[in-house]
Each structure stands twice: as structure tokens, then as C-alpha cells.
Amino acid sequence: LFSKYLQQLGMESLGKSKDLEGNTVEQGIAVYGNKGSTDQHAYIQQLRDGRNDFFATFIEVLKDRKGTSLEVERGVTSGDYLNG
């Protein structure tokens, strides 16, 4: 869920073609966080065929904390947000 939230926040909010003064700008951010062959295909296609001035950061949770996870909402823990 966290990755989907970041996709919505980052790609839709920051991926605009106009600045506050109405000038055309080349900006935006791509957040990849879903899984599966269809998503992987889209990611690779954008990285290979898209703009060449990007960098990538990969985040992985290697070890969950001990104890009970906090529920962010009913049935959804904070770890679920990082799990995608």
C-alpha cells in the first residue's frame, strides 16, 4: 500500500508540465512499487526508452521489527505499507 500511495503522491502531484507561473517545465518523478510481469515490463520500457537523466533508489525491508506491528487501519499494519 505504501508504494501505491507514493505512486499517487509523487507521480500525480509532482508530474506536472506547468509550474506555478504557467511556464512549461520538464519535471516529474516516477515511483515504482508494484509487482508482477506486467508492471516489470512497463518499468523496464520506461527506463530503457524514456529520459536518460534519471536515477533509481531501491528500498527493501530486510528484517521486520520484533513484536506486534502497529495497525494503521483495521487489518492493515505499518509493515503492509512497506510490503507493496
Enumerate the domain spans of the chain: 2-83
Secondary structure class of 76 (helix, strand, coil): strand
* pTM for this entry: 0.33
| Position 28 pLDDT exceeds 70 | no
Taking CB atoms within 8 Å and a gap of at least 24, the contacts of 55-62 are none
pLDDT of 73: 81
Q: Residue range 12-21: average pLDDT?
A: 68
pLDDT of 72: 78
Percentage of residues in the chain with pLDDT exceeding 70? 38
In the block, cell 530486510 appears at 62
Q: Residue range 22-51: average pLDDT?
A: 67
